[in-house]
Structure 1
Amino acid sequence: MVATLMGLAACGGDNGALSGDCHARIRFQGVTFVDNGGLVDTPPGPTSPVGEADILGCTENGWKVIGQTTALKIEGIDAKTAIAVKGDFPGVYVAEETRPDDWPDTIRRR
């Protein structure tokens, strides 16, 4: 865990594309998911496992796989739009290419 945190801390370096953007990301079925401050912290309602996903951490050389987790489908939400994760990096994550208008109301922070 300490090594993981140190790896994430490396994002504060001189690589402008990564500076200040060091929150872990999740890659599942070729889609990168991000945690966004506008999202609820826990999934609203039941979840079910849909597969293994990569945990991505930023390093001085870009985003690298730092671990594995189980992606959870949130009931009523397409897993290509949002997933949930428990464990070391818990939360609700949305597909990186989506906008807040694309997110279901149930996962937006009120």
Structure 2
Amino acid sequence: MLIYKIFRSDEWQALRRDGSTTGAPVDVADGYVHFSTSEQAAETAAKHFAGEADLFLLAVETNRLGDALKWEVSRGGAEFPHLYRMLMREDVVWAQPLPLLNGAHDFPAGFKEAE
């Protein structure tokens, strides 16, 4: 199953450069890397990245994460995937720009079907 991480351009570039990351500032503060399912990703973008440009959507295969991936109840009682280790560059299956289009983020065509 694919899960998704939204990164700002500089965060994605740092992961590419360094090979690993503890995540965005919110991830560091919470002690784990926040992810969303395909059904949760648009709401995550709207809630936490409203109006932000220069974002990237990263897809990560859950099978690559092992026991460090935990599903925990969060927003609205839904379970969200949380990674309790560094995110590694090799964990990322693909990354695509997540541009703003008419004030909303334009997710890549077929990203939900790619699971």
TM tier relative to shorter chain: 0.3 to 0.5
TM-score normalized by the length of structure 2:
0.31
Q: Which has the larger radius of gyration?
A: 1
TM-score normalized by the length of structure 1:
0.32
- Relative CO higher for 1 or 2, CA cutoff 8 Å, sep ≥ 6? 2
Bigger fraction of residues in helix: 2
